[in-house]
Structures are given as C-alpha cells and as structure tokens.
C-alpha cells in the first residue's frame, strides 16, 4: 500500500521507514519524533533479506528510547536550518549508533527533518550499511524530497483524523442535547401553541449578542474553549466570560443544556 493511501497518522509513521528504503535505495531507515529538547525513535526498517536477517525486529529495538537533543549533534541542524545533513564519520558513541545496540551501528548516514504545517515534528535517518554504498549529497536530496512528501501525507492523515474527531464531538453534543430536550420539563422545551413558541424563541434569541450567538454556533459544532478562542481571535478567558453570560441568559446549568435550548430555538424559528 502506498503511503498516500493510508489515512491513520500512526500507520503512516510505522510504514515510512520501509517506504524510504524502497524509494531511495537505502538499506535501513529510522523515523523519530521531536519533542522540545528530545527526540524519540518511532519506527525502524532494515532490509531483512541481507546481512541483518538474524537481528531482532528493528522497531522493537529502538522504540521507547529517549535521546537528548543537544546543540553539538548533527540533528540539531535539522531543527535550526530545516535542511538535510550528510554525516560521513559518526563516532561510535553518537546517539544514532547507541540506539541500535542490537543492530550494527552506522558510521555514515543521511538525515532530513520532517515538517508538518511548517513545524519540525521529527527526523528521517537512512544509510546503506549492508551494501556499503558511499553516501553523497544526492542521497540527502532524495531523502529530503521523501521527507517533504511524507510531511504532506502526514498533514492529510492528521486532517482526516481531526474531521472524524470533530464529527464525533458534534454527534455527542447533539445526542446530549436531544436527551436533555426529551427529559426536561422546562417550559422552554415543552409543547406550546405556535404563537407562544415563536414569542419565546424570539425573546431567547434576542437576549444574546451577535458574538454570543457566534460562540454558540462554534460550541454546537463541538469546539472547545481553546478552539473557539482561536476561531474568534480572542483569549480563552474571554470565551469563558461569554459562556457565563450565555448560561445566565439562557437559564442553563451547563453547556449541554445551553446547546439544547439554543438548538430548540433555532429549529423553532426555522419551522415558523
């Protein structure tokens, strides 16, 4: 399966090392994530039909290790310059060699930064340990091209997962709202003559400011306070202040009840 056909970000990361070996002619590849001043190996691939056949599964060897990212390491350049590096004489005690204790260490390798949405989130390392093919700057270019494509695939996979999560949030919010509407004995939600309902709806809607209605729209869409603040370009504290006013004006005890009342109002006005 091609990387672009994978929709899970985790599966993309697991499959990337094998893909870079096939695409760029390397024997081994390592994918790592970067978190502040550390980097963590995520997945590794070794051509098992060559001299490394007898070794333990490479990902099992490297996963779980935490490597400090210091300014003297070649990997620090990946973050600073966002460009690939070719390391031709790596000493035996460098992290790339240390983390592959059960796999023959590499003294020559190429590495490239993995960028998603303009931020370095990881590294891609590769070498030709089995064939002993000398690495060149052309290998750097090929690896960087692969990393650039991988970044786009990751952005797409993350976007798909976020859409699914947002859909689940909306479904949950609407489900909770329906449950409140069905169980509530509140006169706002009880069956009324059409004219009375329209009067109530108008009064309830008019009591909210345009900004508060905008907050409600985002809330119904499943947004958190942080996400609402980002959408409206305000602080999270401002969003919380709006929420307090909305709950007070709607006479709601919590967000779910506020959504139920507001959805009831909007649907009532559309029906009229």
User: Rounded mean pLDDT of 180-201?
Assistant: 50
Domain count, the chain: 2
Which of 69-73, 167-171, 193-197 is most confident?
69-73
Rounded to whole angstroms, the Cα distance separating 106 from 126 reads 9
Question: For residue 196, what pLDDT is reported?
Answer: 44
Question: pLDDT tens across 106-131, in order?
Answer: 678 899 999 988 889 899 999 988 88
Q: Estimate to the nearest angstrom the gap between the alpha carbon of 191 and the chain centroid.
A: 44
> How is the beta sheet containing 109-116 ordered, strand by strand?
67-68, 38-46, 28-35, 119-127, 109-116, 85-87
**Do 72 and 205 fall within a single domain?**
no
pTM assigned to the model? 0.56
**CATH code of the domain covering residue 55:** 3.30.450.40
**Do 156 and 215 fall within a single domain?**
no
Question: pLDDT tens across 157-188, in order?
Answer: 777 777 777 777 777 777 776 666 666 545 54
**Do 216 and 134 fall within a single domain?**
no
Domain annotation covers residue 171: no
Residue 17 sits in which domain range? 9-160
Model confidence at 208: pLDDT above 80: yes
């Amino acid at each position: 399966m091609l990387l672009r056909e994978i929709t899970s970000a985790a599966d993309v990361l697991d499959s990337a090392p094998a893909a870079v070996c096939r695409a760029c002619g390397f024997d081994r590849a390592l994918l790592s994530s970067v978190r502040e001043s550390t980097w963590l190996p995520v997945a590794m691939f070794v051509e098992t039909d060559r001299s490394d056949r007898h070794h333990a599964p490479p990902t099992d060897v490297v996963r779980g290790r935490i490597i400090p990212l210091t300014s003297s390491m070649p990997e620090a350049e990946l973050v600073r310059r966002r460009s690939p590096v070719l390391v031709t004489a790596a000493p035996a005690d460098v992290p790339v060699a240390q983390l592959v204790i059960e796999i023959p260490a590499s003294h020559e390798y190429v590495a490239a930064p993995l960028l998603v949405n303009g931020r370095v989130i990881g590294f891609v390392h590769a070498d030709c340990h089995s064939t002993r093919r000398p690495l060149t700057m052309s290998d750097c270019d090929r690896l960087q091209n692969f990393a650039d494509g991988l970044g786009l695939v990751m952005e797409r996979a993350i976007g798909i997962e976020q859409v699914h999560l947002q859909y689940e949030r909306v479904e949950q919010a609407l489900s909770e709202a329906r449950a409140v509407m069905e169980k509530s004995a509140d006169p706002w939600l009880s069956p009324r003559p059409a004219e009375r309902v329209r009067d109530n709806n108008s009064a309830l809607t008019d009591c909210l400011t345009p900004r508060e209605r905008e907050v409600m729209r985002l809330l119904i869409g499943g947004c958190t306070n942080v996400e609402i603040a980002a959408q409206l370009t305000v602080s999270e504290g401002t969003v919380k202040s709006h929420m307090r006013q909305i709950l007070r004006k709607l006479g709601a005890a919590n967000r779910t009840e506020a959504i139920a009342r507001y959805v009831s109002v909007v649907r009532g006005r559309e029906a009229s």
